[in-house]
Structure 1
Amino acid sequence: MLRDKFADNLGISQTRKEQIYLDICKAVSLQDISYWIQVLFAAGIATLGLVLNSPAVIIGAMLISPLMGGILASGLALAAGDVILAIRALVNLIVSSIVAIAFAVLLVSLLPFKEMTAEIAGRIRPNILDLVVALFSGAVGSVAICKESKGVATSIPGVAIAVALMPPLCVVGYGIGIALSLDSVKGWQVASGGGLLFFTNLVAITFTSMLVFLALHIDNDIVREKIKGWRENDPESLLVEHLLEKSSVYDKFKTIGGLPGRFLLIVITIGIIIFPLNQSLIQLRKEIALQQQENQIRGAATEIWQTQFANFPSGDPRSYISNIATSYGQNNKLIIQLQVFSSKHYTPEEQNNYIQKLSDRLNMAPELLGLKLIEIPTASNELLQQITDEQLTEPLVSIAQLQANFLQEIQGSLGSLILPDPAKLLDYEVITSPIEPLKIRLIYLSEREISKDAQILMADNIRTKLDYPSAKVAMQRIDSSPSVISFPKDQATLSPGSTQLLDRIAQNLKRQPNLSVEVIVNQESTEQQEILPQRSQVIAQYLESKWQISKDRIKIQIGTENQGNAKLQLIV
Structure 2
Amino acid sequence: MPDAPPADDRHPALDSPAPEADGTNDGTRIEEAAREKFGLRRWDCPALYRDTADAATDTDLPFWLVLLLSGAIATLGLGLNQTAVVIGAMLVAPLLGPLLGLSLALAVGDGRLALQTALTIIIGAASVVALAAVLVFVLPFQDVTPEIASRTRPTTLDLGIAVFSGLAGAVVTVSREKRLSASIPGVAIAVALIPPLGVAGFAIGTQRWDLLEGPLLLFGANLGGIVLSGMGAFLLVGMHRDDVLAAARDWHRNTSLPGLAGRIDRSPSLSSVRVFESTWARVGLVVAFIAVVSFPLTTSLMQFLRETRVERAVSAAAAQIQARGDASVLSRDVTLGVGTSDVRFRVATTGWIDEDERGGVERLISSGAGEPVTVRFEQLLASDGDLDAIASRFSTSLAPTESVVAPDPPSVTLQRLGGQVTDVLGDLALPDGVRPLGADVSVGAGPTRVVVTYAAARRLPPEAEAIVVRQAAAALELPPASVGVQSVVVGARPVPADSVGVMGLAGLAARFPSLRLTVTADSAGVEGLRRRFLQAGAPARQVLARPGAPGVRLSVAPPQS
TM over 0.5, shorter chain:
yes
Give the secondary structure class of the aligned counterpart of 1:339: strand
Partner of 2:487: none
- Aligned mate of 2:74, from 46, 56, 81: 46
Does structure 1 residue 374 correspond to structure 2 residue 380?
yes
Aligned to 1:476: 545
- 1:502-521 correspondence runs (5 A): none
Find the aligned partners of 1:29 and 1:256 in 2 and give their Cα distance. 21
In the other structure, the counterpart of 1:317 is none
Change (3 A) 1:212 1:94: same
CA deviation after TM superposition for structure 1 residue 222, in Å: 2.7
Deviation of the 1:15 alpha carbon:
5.0
Instruction: Write out per-residue CA displacement over residues 246-270 of structure 1, whole angstroms, 9 at most, x where no aligned residue.
Output: 89xx5xx755332122122111111
Alignment of 1:207-356 (within 5 A): 207-236=228-257, 240=264, 243-244=267-268, 254-303=274-323, 305-306=324-325, 310=326, 321=328, 323=330, 325=332, 336-340=345-349, 342=350, 346=351
Letter in 2 for 1:139: L
SS where residue 4 of structure 1 aligns?
A: helix
8 A contact 2:155–2:298 mirrored in 1: yes
The whole-number CA distance in structure 2 between the counterparts of 1:224 and 1:333 is: 61
Inter-CA distance 120–392: structure 2 relative to 1 (3 Å threshold):
same
**Structure (1 or 2) with the larger CA radius of gyration:** 1
Taking the aligned partners of 1:363 and 1:239, their CA distance within structure 2 comes to: 62
Deviation at 1:288, TM superposition (A): 1.0
In structure 2, the partner of 1:176 is 204
The 1:72–1:116 alpha-carbon spacing in structure 2 relative to 1, beyond 3 Å, is: same
Q: Which residue does the alignment assign to 2:480?
A: none
Q: For the residues of structure 1 that align with 2:251 and 2:192, how far apart are their CA atoms?
A: 32
Name the CA distance, whole Å, in 1 between partners of 2:107 and 2:360.
65
The SS at the match of 2:121 is helix
Offset of residue 301 of structure 1: 1.5
Give the direction of change, closer, same or farther, for the CA distance of 1:196–1:361 in structure 2 (3 Å limit).
Answer: closer
TM-score (norm 1): 0.60
Distance (whole Å) between structure 2 residues aligned to residue 356 and residue 232 of structure 1: 77
Distance in 2 separating the partners of 1:471 and 1:117: 34
Deviation at 1:220, TM superposition (A): 3.0
The 2-side partners of 1:254 and 1:435 are apart by 73
The amino acid that maps onto 1:138 is G
Question: Quick check: 1:127–1:281 contact (8 Å CA) kept in 2?
Answer: yes
Structure 1 alignment gaps of length 5 or more: 180-185, 311-319, 403-408, 419-429, 460-469, 480-572
Deviation digits for residues 362-400 of structure 1 (CA, Å, limit 9, x no counterpart): 799xxx8765542225xx5x554333346799xx9x99x
Q: CA 1:5–1:102 in 2, change beyond 3 Å: closer, same or farther? A: same
CA distance in 2, matches of 1:7, 1:57: 38
Q: Kindly state the Cα deviation for residue 5 of structure 1 after the two structures are TM-superposed.
A: 3.2
Residue 61 to residue 289, structure 1, CA distance change in 2 (3 Å): same
Q: Tell me how far apart the structure 1 counterparts of residues 509 and 205 of structure 2 sit (CA, whole Å).
A: 39
Flag the 1:449–1:190 CA change in 2: closer, same or farther, 3 A.
farther
* 1:440 and 2:516 are equivalent in the alignment: yes
**1:228 positional shift:** 2.4
Q: Does 1:92 align with 2:120?
A: yes
The residue that corresponds to 1:568 in the other structure is none
Unaligned runs of 5+ in 2: 1-27, 368-373, 397-419, 427-434, 437-455, 458-490, 493-505, 534-538, 549-561
**What secondary structure sits across from 2:134 in the alignment?**
helix
Counterpart in the other structure of 1:120: 148
Measured after TM superposition, the shift of residue 356 of structure 1 is 8.1
User: Which AA in structure 2 matches 1:339?
Assistant: A
CA–CA distance in structure 2, aligned partners of residues 451 and 444 of structure 1 = 9
Please state how far the C-alpha of 1:111 moved relative to its aligned partner: 1.5
Q: Which residue of 1 aligns with 2:460?
A: none
- Which residue number in structure 1 is paired with residue 388 of structure 2? 385
**CA distance in 2: counterparts of 1:165 and 1:289, whole angstroms:** 30
Work out the CA distance in 1 between the residues paired with 2:511 and 2:265: 78
Deviation at 1:445, TM superposition (A): 12
TM-score (norm 2): 0.61
Alignment: residue pair count: 408
- Do residues 10 (structure 1) and 30 (structure 2) align? no
The residue type paired with residue 285 of structure 1 is L
Offset at 1:174? 1.5
Q: How far is the alpha carbon of 1:128 from its aligned partner?
A: 0.6
Report SS of the residue matched to 2:347: strand
Distance 1:43 1:451, change over 3 A: farther
Mapped to 2, the partners of 1:190 and 1:372 lie a distance apart of 32
Tell me: higher relative CO, structure 1 or 2? Use CA pairs within 8 A at least 6 residues apart. 2
Is contact 1:138–1:208 with CA below 8 Å preserved after alignment? yes
